[in-house]
Amino acid sequence: MTNTPDDESRRRIARMGAESLERLQREPARADGIGQIDSALGRIRRSMARQSLGRRVLSDLGADIDPGLVEVLHAIAGNGPDAQDAVSIGAVAQEMGVDPSQASRMVREAVEAGLVVRVASPDDARRSVLQLSELGASLVASARNYKHALLLEHFRDWPERDVEEFARLLTRFSSLARGNGQN
């Protein structure tokens, strides 16, 4: 792939840019709101890339680990405190959206840090699967609770109804992150 677009790419870029501008001009009020959403998402993305909140939580908890390892723990833990099942490195890779070799390296670091243990698979004792160690499960629960407490403080001045509506709308909007782009 070259860094300079060819003529076909340039035509496509120009055409799609013009079509998009026409669509935005048909709904200027919504387009303004969309621009504000895009700016806010940019700020959120940059903050997430720096893992600012996650780093603060780990620092305040005194957990001297790479915030990326917390993603491994969440991939193993599932969506709730009781959702943990024994999972494979492949499942961790899929959940994190990384290739299996990267997931394997991160899991190895989590095992070395005492946050994850390898156990025999309940389905096939010749295979090993991953589970959170007691320390890993404690860290996930404590980090989640502490992060929620920080967010609670951030939203302290918001009326409860606004928090509920924001949560509903953000959850609805998050379908974009799931890749289907539907509400």
pLDDT above 90 as % of the chain: 48
Mean pLDDT, range 106-121, rounded to an integer = 93
Nearest residue to 135 (alpha-carbon basis) of 111, 166, 163: 111
CA dihedral (182, 45, 87, 59) positive or negative: negative
Split at pLDDT 50, 70, 90, the class of 111 is very high
**Ordered domains of the chain (ranges, CATH):** 10-50 (no CATH), 66-143 (1.10.10.10)
Identify the residue with better confidence: 23 or 5: 23
Identify the residue with better confidence: 53 or 72: 72
**Residues 166, 71, 92, CA angle at the centre, nearest 5°?**
115
**For residue 80, pLDDT beyond 90:** no
C-alpha 106/C-alpha 111 separation (Å) is 9
Tokens 């390296």, residue?
105
Query: Is the entire prediction scored with pTM above 0.75?
Result: no
| Six token digits for residue 162 | 């606004």
